[in-house]
Amino acid sequence: MNKARYTSVAILLHWVMALLIFVTWSIAIAVDDMPLSPTRITGLSWHKWFGVTIFFLVVLRLLWRATHPAPALNLAMPVWQERIMQLTHIAMYLLMAVMPVVGWLMSSAKGYTVNYFGLFELPDLVGKDKALGHQLKEVHEFLANGLMALVELHILAALKHQFIDKDGLLSRMTFGGSKNEK
């Protein structure tokens, strides 16, 4: 069994971000084909608010990770699986950081200033440009689909380790049990 665990802060950030990413993606899917209406505008507002929150949290998470390295893996895994795991994590972090910025750029290009829960406005990153806004929407959707594919791979790998390999890997990112916090 693998006993090395992430810190409680890392675990909390992981699960909060997982929930926010799923909710944010679900909102986007739900409002994408809606006609312009108060419901669509409200959904898009929540999507943007959560997207900005995800960006803030990924920055916090990267800072935390830089000062609190991942615990040793401590289990036998084929080298190719370990490399896939590392590349998947790097790609997920990259997408979690880049996707909100592309969404912000898209909103700016479409002429919509992004505010954060009405507390403050983010500056427009580019001038209004309908064609650029459309291109950035396509990029944002492509990145979102890529992130969701990697999240699915991540979940399937965790389930494989939990139920097939029975190596305790999932316990590294769950609350409870013994702790190896630094």
Q: Can you give the pTM of this predicted structure? A: 0.91
Is residue 1 within 8 Å of 180, Cβ to Cβ?
Answer: no
Tally Cβ neighbours within 10 Å of residue 78: 8
Is residue 104 within 8 Å of 122, Cβ to Cβ?
Answer: yes
In a domain, 117, yes or no: yes
In a domain, 2, yes or no: no
High-pLDDT (> 90) share of the chain, %: 89
The predicted pLDDT at position 48 comes to 97
Residue written as token pair 């492509």: 142
In terms of residue numbers, what domain contains 100? Answer: 8-173
In a domain, 179, yes or no: no
Q: For 76-111, how does the pLDDT look when each residue is reduced to its tens digit (9 = 90+)?
A: 889 999 999 999 999 999 999 999 999 999 999 999
Distance CA 35, CA 29 (A): 13
In a domain, 180, yes or no: no
In a domain, 1, yes or no: no
Q: How many domains does the chain have?
A: 1
Q: Which of 128, 150, 110 is nearest to 25 (CA)?
A: 150
Q: Which of 144, 139, 172 is nearest to 22 (CA)?
A: 144
In a domain, 160, yes or no: yes
Q: For 28-74, how does the pLDDT look when each residue is reduced to its tens digit (9 = 90+)?
A: 999 999 999 999 999 999 999 999 999 999 999 999 999 999 999 88
Q: For 135-178, how does the pLDDT look when each residue is reduced to its tens digit (9 = 90+)?
A: 999 999 999 999 999 999 999 999 999 999 999 899 999 998 55
CATH classification of the domain holding 130: 1.20.950.20
Distance CA 163, CA 88 (A): 21
Is residue 170 within 8 Å of 158, Cβ to Cβ?
Answer: yes
